Amino acid sequence: MTGNTVELKLVPNPSNLNPSDKLRDFLRNNLEELSIVVQPGNPELPEFELYARDFLRFAELELNQNLESSLINCVGHLKRAIDCQLDVFLRVYGLDKVFNKNNLKFEKKLDFLRDVRVFSSRSLTRLNTIRNKMEHSYEVPKIQEIDIYFDLVSAFVAVLERTILLCGHEVDLEFALNRPDNDWCSLKYDKTKLLFTACWIYKSRGEIEELTVTIDDRDSFAFFFRVFMLLAMREALTSDDYILSQL
């Protein structure tokens, strides 16, 4: 240490904890003292001619006609709304190249959403069950089933919309710990390299702890993604008690 300058030594995960365990333990012990000082900006959306909300509008127009042909068309529009919103979500977070490269289909995309808890597991299961039934039964769908499906798809689109809007060109969160020693931490997501970097700066002891999680570590990546979403929503939409319950 020279004058007011503090020399910080990099210490990569000195506790040798699993990355998810380390982040979980840190949040459980420090969440109340964290203040967000940098949040993501506006997302870079793909340029489609039609988006999920357009297909929802088309579906509602068909649903109001209540004809056999219009009910079938309604189901088609609802399926497109789901697919479109999924593709926008994956594109915004740079995940589309992984799913395209490995030829991962609809069910695998839903599995990822389930892992990161963007949408409730029960609702996802019901959504997929109704979708598969309507797609493979070759029956005219019942109006009651379509009403349920429409509501589920609308909720799905709205939830992913909120998640999409959390993401900016530079996707990172930075926090200050409300302590006299002025310690800091940050959680950054590189959507080009598909990795998370967590960093803890302890000025009081002259150390920086850093760990990186790549998409190859599926479980840790999903957990970091979930935490990133929860913390980004914390200021307006999510209580600390809820965040802790999801760890």
Most confident of 5-19, 101-115, 128-142, 216-230: 216-230
Cβ proximity of 231 and 244 under 8 Å:
no
| Residues facing residue 155 across a β-bridge | none
Does the pLDDT value for residue 202 go beyond 60? yes
122 vs 13, higher pLDDT: 122
Look at 78-82, 115-119, 128-132, 211-215 and tell me which has the smallest mean pLDDT.
Answer: 128-132
Task: With cut-offs at 50, 70 and 90, classify the pLDDT of residue 5.
Answer: very low
Q: pTM, whole model, 2 decimals?
A: 0.81
Mean pLDDT, range 221-238, rounded to an integer: 82
Instruction: Assess whether pLDDT exceeds 90 at residue 3.
Output: no
C-alpha distances out from residue 87 to 46, 69, 172, 194, Å? 9, 27, 22, 16
Distances (CA, A) of 58 to 113, 149, 181, 241: 25, 14, 57, 39
Query: Is the CB of residue 176 less than 8 Å from the CB of residue 184?
Result: yes
pLDDT at 124 over 80: no
Q: How confident is the model at residue 232 (pLDDT cuts 50, 70, 90)?
A: confident
Residue of higher predicted confidence among 165 and 2:
165
Best CA proximity match to 150, nearest among 68, 77, 66, 50: 77
Please answer whether residues 213 and 195 qualify as being in contact, where contact means their C-beta atoms are separated by less than 8 angstroms: yes
pLDDT digits (tens, 9 = 90+) for 54-80: 999 999 999 888 788 888 899 889 989
The mean pLDDT of the chain is 81
| Stretch 133-160: mean pLDDT | 85
State the average pLDDT over residues 177-198.
Answer: 80
Per-residue pLDDT at 179 exceeds 80: no
How many Å apart are CA 233 and CA 235, to the nearest integer? 6
User: What pLDDT shows up at residue 2?
Assistant: 37
- Packed helices 121-136 and 68-92: angle between N→C axes, nearest 10 degrees: 130
* pLDDT confidence of residue 237: 67
Looking at the DSSP bridge assignments, the partners of residue 185 are 175, 200
Q: How confident is the model at residue 220 (pLDDT cuts 50, 70, 90)?
A: very high
* Residue 8: per-residue pLDDT: 53
30-58: burial string, b at 16+ Cβ within 10 Å, e else: bbeebeeeeebeebeeeeeeebbeebbeb
pLDDT at 16: 65
- Tell me if 227 sits within 8 A of 27, measured CB to CB: yes
Please compute the mean of the pLDDT values over residues 218-243 and round it to a whole number.
83
Name the residue with higher pLDDT: 36 or 68: 68
Tens digits of residue pLDDT in 77-114: 998 999 999 999 998 888 988 888 887 788 888 888 88
